[in-house]
């Protein structure tokens, strides 16, 4: 890569492996990681996978919803700005189908705060992290959000 990034980078080798037994033997909480920048989605999913989660990178809201219906997530981590539906729209849809799914939104754009305020006024409460997301912040949120139950089923039958 010849372009220099303004964002601080953390080598994957420095990401602590924090795998712990969080439920039935071999169980790994499913996490959907959504960002239209594949390098970001893939990297965050890799960080989570190395830390004991079944993280699935997805690159748009429509694919994320399709994936969620096939593999019910315990957590959704999504960029706010996505092609098609926004990450907030996706979060609202996921929350309707999977009411217990923990949701974390992230964004590098100040304009997204207006979208989040609008969603909050409509009764949707989502956590927001600023890009770039530091691996320690991501893992701390995921650890606090992890459930010890088996995978959930949708709130409705498809």
| Mean local confidence (pLDDT), 61-78 | 96
Report the distance separating Cα 116 and Cα 121, nearest Å: 9
The edge-to-edge listing of strands for the beta sheet with 127-130 is 54-58, 30-34, 75-79, 102-107, 127-130
Terminal Cα-to-Cα distance of the chain (whole angstroms) = 44
Contact yes or no for 77/138 (Cβ under 8 A): yes
Query: Does 91 score more than 90 pLDDT?
Result: yes
155/14: higher pLDDT: 14
Token pair in block for residue 122: 């409509």
Q: What's the farthest any 2 CA atoms get from each other in the chain?
A: 49
| Mean local confidence (pLDDT), 47-65 | 95
Token pair in block for residue 87: 């990450």
Cβ-based neighbours of 5, under 8 Å, separated by 6 or more: none
3-state helix, strand, coil in the chain (%, to 5): 35, 15, 45
Domain extents in the chain: 26-145
Find tokens 């694919």 and name the residue.
63
Share of the chain above pLDDT 90, in %: 45
Q: Domain 26-145 maps to which CATH number in 3.40.50.970, 3.50.40.10, 3.40.50.10800, 3.40.50.2300?
A: 3.40.50.2300
| 27 SS3 class | coil
| pLDDT at position 13 | 57
Cα 12–28–70 angle (5° rounding)?
A: 105
Give the pLDDT band (50/70/90) at residue 21. very low
| pLDDT at position 1 | 42
Report the distance separating Cα 76 and Cα 145, nearest Å: 10
| pLDDT at position 138 | 85
Report the distance separating Cα 127 and Cα 34, nearest Å: 15
| pLDDT at position 98 | 96
| pLDDT at position 141 | 84
pLDDT per position as a tens digit, 23-34: 456 788 999 999
Q: What's the mean pLDDT when you consider all of the chain?
A: 78
Query: Does 84 score more than 50 pLDDT?
Result: yes
pLDDT per position as a tens digit, 102-158: 999 988 766 666 666 666 676 777 777 778 878 888 888 888 876 434 444 444 433
Contact yes or no for 29/75 (Cβ under 8 A): yes
């Amino acid at each position: 890569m010849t372009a220099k990034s303004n964002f601080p980078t953390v080598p994957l080798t420095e990401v602590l492996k924090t795998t712990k037994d969080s439920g039935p033997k071999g169980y790994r909480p499913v996490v959907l990681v959504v960002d239209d920048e594949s390098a970001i989605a893939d990297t965050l999913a890799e960080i989570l996978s190395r830390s004991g989660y079944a993280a699935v990178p997805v690159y748009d809201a429509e694919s994320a919803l399709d994936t969620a219906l096939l593999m019910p997530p315990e957590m959704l981590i999504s960029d706010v700005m996505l092609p098609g539906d926004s990450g907030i729209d996706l979060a609202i849809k996921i929350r309707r189908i999977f009411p217990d799914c923990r949701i974390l939104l992230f964004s590098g754009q100040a304009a997204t705060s207006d979208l989040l305020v609008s969603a909050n006024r409509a009764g949707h409460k989502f956590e927001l992290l600023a890009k770039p997301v530091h691996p320690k912040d991501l893992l701390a949120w995921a650890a606090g959000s992890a459930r010890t139950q088996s995978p959930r089923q949708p709130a409705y039958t498809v």
